[in-house]
Structure 1
Amino acid sequence: MTSNDEQILKCRDDKEPVCLLKIDEQSGQAYKLADKSQCSWLEHGKAIDTVKLRQRIEPWLTALFQAEHLALLVGSGFSNAIHWMATGKEPPWTNIQCKFTYYQNEIEAEVKRSAYAAGRGKGNVEDQIRVANELLRGLEILKPGDHEVVGLREDLNRFLTDFAESILKGERGLISAESDKLKKSEQAFTYLVSFLMSFASRTGTRDRLHIFTTNYDRFIEAGADVAGLHLLDRFVGSLAPVFRSSRLDLDMHYNPPGIRGEPRYLEGVARFTKLHGSLDWVDIERNIRRIAVPFGAQDIKPYLDALGLSGAKAIQLMIYPNAAKDRETAAYPYVELFRDFAAAVCRPNSTLVTFGYSFGDEHINRVIEDMLTIPSAHLVVISYSDPLGRIMKTYERLGRHAQITLLIGNHFGDLQSLVDNYLPKPAIDRATFRMVELLKARWVTDYNEPAVDSNILHGEGDGKP
């Protein structure tokens, strides 16, 4: 567990996590080494500021981002950070609760038990949906057609409708937030775009960035639209795209003018997977379709009706765990999504970066644990806090300390601070690399080579001009 003044850093040649304590940001000497920590790059009693920390962290992240395979996993902390930056408030879906007409006490008891067993401390909205779904399925077997079963199904449908509308409310907050001097939504989108492009700015010689998220909102999609980043997922179609299992290797290429030969990868393209489903996915007539719900719409019901298909209700929204009626459809499409996750990260020379993910999903943690059995794989954990200690417990349990980088705390894990100070440059910057090479050629004897950072290496493949 980290306090507000405590930052945890482990990168480069650190053998153990380094604990830094905030002392005085006004003077530029921001942090000192905690009494319990030891490291080779900072002595006890001396201070280090953001500039020096950047010199240590940013080149390391830049090198990791140039791995052959790069994946980004964002959790609820990402959406919270974007929404807080725009509105100064937590997203409306974080505190939503459902009151069931039947079996309320039984559902609450199971939610608490399962959440405690998973190390989450208290249940969340996913636990409520999952437990209610499991109970509904059992009652449909024991007492089909009973009024309690009908009532529970109606309560669950109402809960999912309220939950979907709370997500839409959070999206509206992002695009409509304003203050007296600055339109906060513009600032939030600026940092959202910079964050995404710091990862997505890869040349065609590298494998595509693959973005994974456990969130149901569409903040990433909105940021990609603003950034001009094209997201490739498994959906095919224009009006009501259908989830396809056969479209994983779809990509985008172009033919350079006047050049014959193989086409080149188009820049500004990333793969995208929503592991727990999405607000605008609907299970209808044995297909998973993405419906055209505008970002921040007032109500989801008209768009369910607009499908033109009978029986479309909120209970059919693909919000994990889903409300499917049998095991086959319950596993689909999530089995395909998690197969994509395992295939993307469990490869040699791969880097997985997590942001805002608290390591509370064991099905995801198992894949990460398998990934680290590959010696050339690396895990970067960036988080604003670790209130339940799950991140550090997972770090200790995994045991692969040399393959893990940690940036935890309200400085390292703050989205604005992270983008401003530590993430690589959100562009493929060839000009800076050539400038440095030119300066080295002119002043071979007395030129002091600068620290290698994103201005030099980011997006340059093997580092050659």
Structure 2
Amino acid sequence: MSEDNANEIDRFEIGGENLLSKVSMGFFQTSNDTLPLGTETLPREELDDIRVRIGTLLKTETVSFLLGAGASVDCGGQLIGLVPLAVERDLHRKDTAGTTEAQVAQWLKVFYLAVSHSGGGDTTPVSEDEIRSRQQKLEGKEVKSLLANFEQVLATLHRWRSALPSTGGRLRVDSTSTVTLDANAEDLDECLRRATRALAIACNLPTEDKEGGISTYKAFIRKLLTRPLNLKRVNIFTLNYDTLVEQASDADGVVLLDGFVGTYRRVFRPESYEQDLYFPAETTEGRVHRFDRVLHLYKLHGSITWRATKPSINNPYGIESERFNLNDTQPVLIYPTPAKYGETLGMPYAELFRRFAAAVVRPQSVLFVIGYGFGDEHVNAIIRQALAVPSFTIVIVDPAPNSDFVKALRKQNDPRVWISEGSRIGTFEGFVKEVLPDLREEEILKKVVATHQSLSKKENTGRGDMSDDN
């Protein structure tokens, strides 16, 4: 669990009603024991009731999960609502390699101007002296991240690049009255390549000191697979570029239908999402059984494993997937959605977002949103569309959900809006371990409870008969 979330109060709301009325700041009870972190603890009965309710949602026809950057924090992931320090430091290392201290590469100037134009404001270094000063600060531990959404920074760079022809042309960018940058297409290409490469390296998770975090993803995958086989496959939509879902699935032999086909050469073919896996039953009647270890994965913003290639008949989208190589200098295909809603989404992102929208607007659809700060207007618009469907339910998991989107939802007191928040059940780890049920274990628990209640009734009836005899 991230230290930033250590003091958040645990709450579980359905339509504005808090089901954890007896929990206080920092107090939590696991499914096995009570952990007295203060003067009060969370009663197990309340936690069990929540798990039963979540279990009911998991048994609906269409279940989808949307994972944001917060779901990767315990594996060393970077929150890109700001400019990650790891990315900025990597860019400066590449800038100074083989150059004198007095030089500041043109592409690095372009980068900081993009930060300034993406919400970084006056605190963003833009002149050569300011950039050199920033480099010295990055060598220390007290430096703060720049106040700009990094995905918006990349989107700004993409927009600037699209304003120029494929070769040639220049772009004049004004920042202040004293700083004006005259950049060409090569400068923008170099800036984009280095910025996306630095982000890809930061998204190569888990980090060495956070390898234990992958266990949460494994538990997450296992619990999703306990759904009845007659229901649709679970959809995992992720805005993250890392490969944590893939690693956890591989560890447990789970097949991910991720839109790519091929063994030696994996290319993007979205029609593969319509496929499913079966195996023949051990009978002579020709029956088949549905393979139980299958999930759908949609990487809405791309992946560190994606590469752009020339489109062809056998690879119409021009996208291949291969293992991420830290030493490879080829650009990776991680591309944020445009910063402004209404701008055109390119392929394959348009296709992936279309499938996201189609999944959540189905009747009896449930969407679990984990670690997402509602900063992507394209995603928000799709969720708004889903909320227009009466049978849709959304479960928001966040340590401190304070976005304008969530605030607006809370005002409605809509029983279709569930919110799990706080330092324990508001994190990905806490939600998976303590709230998300294993449906097979829940069924066993129900039988045990029913048997216990039945025996208790018989025992009480017997005592009543003995009293009558006396």
TM bucket normalised to smaller: 0.7 to 0.9
Offset at residue 217 of structure 1 (A) = 0.5
Determine helix, strand or coil for the equivalent of 2:44: helix
* 8 Å contact from structure 1 (residues 22, 30) kept in 2: no
Q: Which amino acid aligns with 2:320?
A: R
Paired position in structure 2 for 1:202: 227
* 8 Å contact from structure 1 (residues 440, 447) kept in 2: no
Q: Which amino acid aligns with 1:319?
A: Y
Paired position in structure 1 for 2:356: 341
Using the alignment, how far apart are the partners of 1:381 and 1:167 within structure 2? Answer: 24
Paired position in structure 2 for 1:161: 197
Using the alignment, how far apart are the partners of 1:104 and 1:83 within structure 2? Answer: 24
Offset at residue 24 of structure 1 (A) = 5.9
Offset at residue 272 of structure 1 (A) = 0.7
Equivalent residues in 2 for 1:312-461, closer than 5 Å: 313-314=330-331, 317-321=333-337, 331-386=346-401, 388-390=402-404, 392-396=406-410, 399=412, 401-425=414-438, 427=440, 445=458
Under a length normalisation based on structure 1, what TM-score does the superposition of the two structures give?
0.73
Paired position in structure 2 for 1:4: 7
Paired position in structure 2 for 1:77: 70
Paired position in structure 1 for 2:466: none
Indicate whether 1:232 and 2:257 are aligned.
Answer: yes
Determine helix, strand or coil for the equivalent of 1:401: coil
Equivalent residues in 2 for 1:208-223, closer than 5 Å: 208-223=233-248
Offset at residue 343 of structure 1 (A) = 1.1
* 8 Å contact from structure 2 (residues 281, 287) kept in 1: no
Using the alignment, how far apart are the partners of 1:7 and 1:291 within structure 2? Answer: 40
Q: Rate the CA distance shift 1:73–1:239 in 2: closer, same or farther, 3 A.
A: same
1:21 to 9, 21, 24: 24
Using the alignment, how far apart are the partners of 1:383 and 1:405 within structure 2? Answer: 11
* 8 Å contact from structure 1 (residues 164, 300) kept in 2: no
Offset at residue 317 of structure 1 (A) = 2.0
Determine helix, strand or coil for the equivalent of 1:71: strand
Using the alignment, how far apart are the partners of 2:59 and 2:20 within structure 1? Answer: 25
Unaligned stretches of 5+ residues in structure 1: 33-46, 115-120, 178-183, 302-312, 449-465
Under a length normalisation based on structure 2, what TM-score does the superposition of the two structures give?
0.72
Paired position in structure 2 for 1:53: 46
Using the alignment, how far apart are the partners of 2:350 and 2:216 within structure 1? Answer: 33
Using the alignment, how far apart are the partners of 1:430 and 1:260 within structure 2? Answer: 31
Determine helix, strand or coil for the equivalent of 1:55: helix
Using the alignment, how far apart are the partners of 2:231 and 2:460 within structure 1? Answer: 31
Offset at residue 48 of structure 1 (A) = 4.7
* 8 Å contact from structure 1 (residues 61, 423) kept in 2: yes
Determine helix, strand or coil for the equivalent of 2:323: coil
Larger radius of gyration: 2
2:116 to 106, 109, 118: 109
Indicate whether 1:151 and 2:187 are aligned.
Answer: yes
* 8 Å contact from structure 1 (residues 213, 274) kept in 2: yes
Unaligned stretches of 5+ residues in structure 2: 93-106, 122-145, 172-182, 312-316, 462-470
Determine helix, strand or coil for the equivalent of 2:296: strand
Using the alignment, how far apart are the partners of 2:459 and 2:382 within structure 1? Answer: 49
* 8 Å contact from structure 2 (residues 70, 428) kept in 1: no
Determine helix, strand or coil for the equivalent of 1:164: helix
Q: Rate the CA distance shift 1:243–1:291 in 2: closer, same or farther, 3 A.
A: closer
Q: Rate the CA distance shift 1:423–1:276 in 2: closer, same or farther, 3 A.
A: same
